[in-house]
Structures are given as C-alpha cells and as structure tokens.
Structure 1
Amino acid sequence: MTLREFIKPCNFTKRGDGPKYLQLRNLIRKAILSGALEHHDALPAERDLAEFSGLSRVTVRNAIKALVREGTLVQRRGSGSFVSASPNDMQQSTTLLASFSTEMARRGLTARSTWIKRGHFHPSPDEIFALGLPQKSMVSRLMRVRYADDRSMAVERTALPVTILPEPNIVTNSLYATLEELGNAPVRAVQKISAINLRKADAELLNIPEGSAGLKIERVAYLANGMASEFTLSLYRGDAYEFVADLSPKELEHA
C-alpha cells in the first residue's frame, strides 16, 4: 500500500478513535512501519496530505507536529518533513508502568499474541524468589509471542500467584486489563534490563536469526500492600525496540 492509500478519507472514523489529527498521525505511522515510506523519505506537502485525506491543512499540520515531537519525523527548514533514521524502533519509557497492549495502542498499533503456554505449574526457583512463594505453591504461568500489528516484538514469560490470577485462560490480550478487572492491578514495578544474544528457540519464535541481539527485561510488579504479584521475563528483539528514560536531578543547585 502507498501512503495515499493509508490516509484516504474512508480510513477515518467519525468517533471512537480520537481527534482526526491523531487518527492521521496513527495512519502515517502505520504507513512508515509498513515500508510505504522508508528512512529519510520526504513526506508529501501539507496541501497534498490534506487533499489525499480530505482533512484540513490545520489538522494535517497538527498530525505532523505530533510525529515530530515523538521522533518519527524530522523537519528541515525550507525542505519539509522527513522520516527519521529509525522509524521502525519502538520506544518505551523505563519510568512508566504500562502493559504492552497499552504501549502499542498509544502508537496506533494493534497488540496481539500467539499463545505458547497457559496453565498452573509448580514455580521455578527464580519465580519462588521473585514472588516470595512457599516451596509447594502453584503459579499461573503465561508464555506468548507479542506482536505489534503483524510484526513480532517479544517472547514473554509471566508467572503470577494463583491468588492473583486464579484462571490463566481468562487472559485474552492485555494481562493488566484482566488484573484490573480482578482488583489485582499492580501499582509499581521494578525492572532489570540487560543485553543478550537470542538463543535458537526464542529467535525462531520471533522469526529472526539465532544469535540476534536482544533485550532481556525482568519485571517484578507489586500491589499497593507491597505483595509481589507478577514476575515477567521478556525477550525483545534488539532491532525493533529501545527503552528511554526521562531523568532529572532531585535538586537543582544554584551557584
């Protein structure tokens, strides 16, 4: 599909998907991720985008500004807007507790999963330690491949005490949405991120070569009462994902 096909008027909804400029932003982003626009390609002029989409130039301008703010596009004075050097990279904040589904929805993408395993199991030593479980307890374990639209992003392995998730099969897409319905949504989490080379089994699940660079993310989430409620080990493909931290000093020193 071409960019013009992505943003044709029939692809905009009257309600439910937010303001028109955000819908246009999401459609342009999808066009970039699909390869309809490649690194450093120029975006058509505002007047052309307005004609293709049936939207006003003000709406088009606001969509472009949003794409520039998030780093998907760069603007060059007198030349126009261009696709940034790494439009296929997914960025995730390391300071915001959000589910994979929520992160993808913010980008106008559809999160989906291929389930590998769901059920009740005896916990591994790592799960016992992370969740503070007795030796003879059971956990609800989820293993799946996560996708953004049709692009594989991560292999995710999650363990939760059965008191937190009594029936693992009720999780359809978003684990955190299910936990919120059960009254067991976490309020904070601690993550550890490290670089790895993906082993054969995980690389095959992601449809990338064995030994490819990846990111290993270990997360322990906690309820408001301090109880450890979730232990997740995620392996992200390194060519499509990066984590961003927004840092600031606790105190500003004045000379």
Structure 2
Amino acid sequence: MDKPFQSMQNALADEYRRLCSDAAAHQPLAYLRLRRAIRNVIEQRAIEPGQTLPSERDLAQLLTLSRVTVRKAIAGLVEEGVLTQRHGAGTFVAERIIKPMSRLTSFTEDLRARGLNPRSEFFERDVGEVTPEESMALNLSPGVQVIRLHRVRYAGDEPLAIERTVVPASVLPDPMLVHDSLYEALEARGCRPRRALQRLRAVLLNARHARLLHVPTGSAGLNIERRAFLDDGRVVEFTTSWYRGDIYDFVAELQTD
C-alpha cells in the first residue's frame, strides 16, 4: 500500500473516531457520521480531487461498519456531487464540480462541500429602482427598490462563474449584508428560498466574460437563469449566471412515473 493511500486511510479513520467521541458533533446514525468524516477530510485536503477512496469492503473493515452503512454514506456524497463513481474503477473525489439540479444549494455551500475555498469579487453592490425586466422576473410593481449584486465567483484563485443577482429590498435592504453567500444573508433574515426554477443553456463566452473567467474567447459556457421562491410564493431572487463549461457539470436525476 503506498504512503498517500495509507495516510488517507489513517485520516479517515481518525476523523470518524473523533466524530464518534465528540459529544458536540455526535450523530447517532453511523452512515451520517461517516459521510461527515469523508467530507471533513476532503475539506482538510487529506484527500485530493481525483483520488480514489478505499473500497466499501476496506472502509467497512477499517471502521468496523457494515457495507450497507458505508454504501449509504457514499451514495449521499455521490448524489451531492462530492464523489463520483466509475463502474469497475471505484469511488473518486470529484475533479469537476458536479452540481445536482435536484437540490437548492448556494454556490458557497457547493464549494465548501468539496473542500474548496469560495470567495467573491464584486463589481456592483447597490440599491436602485426595479427595471421592467426585473419587475417581470420578480413579480414587483414599477418603482419598487431592489438590490443588485454583480460579481465573479471564485474557488481560491480560480474564477468559476459570473453572477448578476437582483433581490427585492423589502427582503434584503442592504447589499453590503452579502459577503460570499447570498443564501446565508437571506437565511439570517428568515428569507432563505425553498424552491427555484432554472433555465440552463449552452453558450460561447464573449470576450468580456472569457477575460473575467480566464479562458479563451468563444470557450464553452453555461448560462443559467434562476428565480427562487419563498414558501409563500414570493420571488426572492433573480440571478443570471455564466459558468465555465470546462469545470462545471449540472446533473439531473430522471425517473419514470
């Protein structure tokens, strides 16, 4: 067994046992403890993107768990896009950012779950009167005040996406309340969205977008429009994003009736 793999196994075992003994972080279900342990060691960079996890059998033996428990823990992380599975090859830490479209999560949450460091570079954070387009998207009357956020979203020093976001000022009155995560700012005010409608299409990035994302002009990108709603049906967010197509995969699970 090579040293990096042995080191990863040791890190996983140590973190799992720490969670078992830590009363403050105690989770009574073993598969959730294991899921948290795997996520934590990824965030600590003890497991690198593209690295193979131990097999279900090896993890079960290492941690004295059933293979059913291990399988359930891994399946949840695969669903979230933190891990990927290749038939006949094993389970790997995702190299590309895989964004499941069945779960409403923020950019910041997605990157933190993968052990990446999210940050934002703002070009605009201000308050103004709603435009006709924004009024239609947010179901607002003319003259209503909104906040606008225009920023590049990063993982460390790597630009991943450009976002333009509009939020009713009645929900979030001060754009300076948003640091990295819009959803954290909304949640602090009891206004985190509960569902969203998204429209995704493939685009070629224009010169300005390509320059901001550090890719050649005409590179493949993904344009996404999101309208997010509160439980009472109010639209709380209208965001238009441009993602790098060489890094992001958006995945949807489909089922028959």
Listed one character per residue, the Cα deviations across residues 22-75 of structure 1 (whole Å, up to 9, x for unaligned) are 434554585543x7x5xxxx77899xx99xxxxx72389849x72897252436
Pair 1:246–1:120, CA change in 2 (3 A): same
Task: Give the whole-Å Cα distance in 1 for the aligned partners of 2:104 and 2:54.
Answer: 36
- What does 1:161-180 correspond to in 2, within 5 Å? 161-180=168-187
Task: Give the whole-Å Cα distance in 2 for the aligned partners of 1:194 and 1:74.
Answer: 27
Task: Give the whole-Å Cα distance in 2 for the aligned partners of 1:222 and 1:44.
Answer: 40
Task: Give the whole-Å Cα distance in 1 for the aligned partners of 2:223 and 2:35.
Answer: 35
Q: Residue type matched to 2:227 in 1?
A: V
- What does 1:227-242 correspond to in 2, within 5 Å? 227-242=234-249
Q: Tell me how far 1:202 sits from its aligned partner.
A: 1.5
Aligned positions, number: 233
Q: Residue type matched to 1:231 in 2?
A: F
Task: Give the whole-Å Cα distance in 1 for the aligned partners of 2:128 and 2:138.
Answer: 14
Instruction: Report if aligned partners of 2:163, 2:241 keep a CA contact under 8 Å in 1.
Output: yes
- What does 1:63-212 correspond to in 2, within 5 Å? 66=74, 70=78, 72-74=84-86, 76=88, 81=90, 83=92, 87-212=94-219
Q: Which runs of 5+ in 1 are unaligned?
A: 51-55, 251-255
Map of 1:57 onto structure 2: 62
Single out whichever of 192-201 and 7-16 deviates more from structure 2.
7-16
Q: Residue type matched to 1:58 in 2?
A: L
Pair 1:32–1:225, CA change in 2 (3 A): same
SS at match of 1:72: strand
Q: Tell me how far 1:158 sits from its aligned partner.
A: 0.5
Spell out structure 1 runs of 4+ moving beyond 6 A.
42-46
Instruction: Report if aligned partners of 1:68, 1:74 keep a CA contact under 8 Å in 2.
Output: no
Q: What value does the CA root-mean-square deviation take over the aligned residues?
A: 3.7
Pair 1:59–1:126, CA change in 2 (3 A): farther
Pair 1:133–1:111, CA change in 2 (3 A): same
Map of 1:253 onto structure 2: none
Map of 2:29 onto structure 1: none
Q: Tell me how far 1:140 sits from its aligned partner.
A: 0.3
Listed one character per residue, the Cα deviations across residues 168-197 of structure 1 (whole Å, up to 9, x for unaligned) are 101122211211211222222111111111
Matched, 1:216 2:228: no
Identical pairs, percent: 36
Instruction: Report if aligned partners of 1:188, 1:222 keep a CA contact under 8 Å in 2.
Output: yes
Q: Tell me how far 1:226 sits from its aligned partner.
A: 1.8
Instruction: Report if aligned partners of 1:164, 1:229 keep a CA contact under 8 Å in 2.
Output: yes
* Aligned mate of 2:253, from 213, 225, 246: 246
Q: Which runs of 5+ in 2 are unaligned?
A: 27-31
Pair 1:43–1:249, CA change in 2 (3 A): closer
With normalisation by structure 2, the TM-score equals 0.72
